[in-house]
């Protein structure tokens, strides 16, 4: 089965991985057709098993081979296609960033989606399929927004990762 593996905090938060090394490590661990997209921890691979077993194994490979506390979100390519197709807003990407926040536990995105104090002129959220939270924010306001600040908290480090809709479309291409 084809899986999408989204690594949290790679090449943006202090953890530096060379994508060719990442591909080699996952191939050596028995995964097939390993491809990376961009340099921010987006991996496509083929494996037997389910999302939970791939997640557990990939995290173990990353910890062993690269020596960091690795957390990933794993979903099938079909599920990613469902998420992208369900994005609820038409977005002018020159004005607003369209994001999807992924969760490995479902609780995290539910909490982020229930945050109070969102300024609708700046950001908006909507729940999506497969434990995701759709989030759209004015360009330049991502880190200072309510959701941006909350999602950066340590409580969400091991369970969430965020991707721009454009990156997700590239993963499906």
Longest dimension (CA), the chain: 48
Give the rounded percent of residues in the chain with a pLDDT score beyond 70: 98
Q: Do domains 2-78 and 86-172 have the same CATH topology?
A: yes
End-to-end CA, the chain: 17
> Per residue in 12-31, pLDDT tens?
666 788 999 999 999 999 99
> Per residue in 64-110, pLDDT tens?
999 888 899 999 999 999 999 999 999 888 889 999 999 998 899 99
- What is the value of pTM for the model shown? 0.93
**Rounded-to-integer distance, Cα 149 and Cα 139, Å:** 15
| pLDDT for residue 36 is more than 70 | yes
CATH of 86-172, one of 3.30.70.1260, 3.40.50.1360, 3.30.1130.10, 3.90.25.10: 3.30.70.1260
SS (H, E, C) the chain: CEEEEEECCECCCCECCCHHHHHHHHHHCCCEEEEECCCCCEEEEECCCCHHHHHHHHHHHHHHHHCCCCCEEEEEHHHHHHHHHCCCCCCCCCCEEEEEEEECCCHHHHHHHCCCCCCCCCEEEEECCCCCEEEEEECCCCCCCHHHHHHCCHHHCCCEEEEEHHHHHHHHC
Domain ranges within the chain, ordered by starting residue: 2-78, 86-172
Superfamily of structural domain 2-78: SP0830-like domains (3.30.70.1280)
> Per residue in 110-150, pLDDT tens?
999 999 999 999 999 999 999 999 999 999 999 999 999 99
């Amino acid at each position: 089965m084809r899986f999408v593996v989204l690594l949290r905090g790679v090449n943006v938060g202090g953890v530096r991985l060379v994508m060719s090394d990442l591909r080699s490590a996952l191939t050596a661990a028995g995964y097939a057709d390993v491809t990376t997209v961009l340099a921010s921890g987006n991996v496509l691979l083929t494996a037997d098993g389910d999302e939970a077993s791939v997640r557990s194994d990939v995290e173990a490979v990353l910890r062993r081979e690269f020596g960091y506390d690795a957390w990933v979100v794993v979903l099938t390519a079909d599920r990613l296609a469902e998420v992208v197709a369900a994005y609820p807003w038409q977005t002018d990407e020159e004005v607003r960033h369209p994001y999807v926040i992924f969760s490995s536990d479902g609780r995290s995105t539910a909490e982020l989606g229930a945050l109070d104090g969102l300024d609708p002129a700046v950001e908006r959220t909507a729940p999506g399929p497969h434990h995701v939270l759709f989030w759209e924010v004015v360009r330049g306001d991502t880190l200072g927004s309510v959701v941006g600040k909350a999602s950066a908290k340590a409580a969400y480090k091991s369970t969430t990762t965020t991707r721009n809709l454009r990156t997700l479309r590239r993963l499906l291409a």
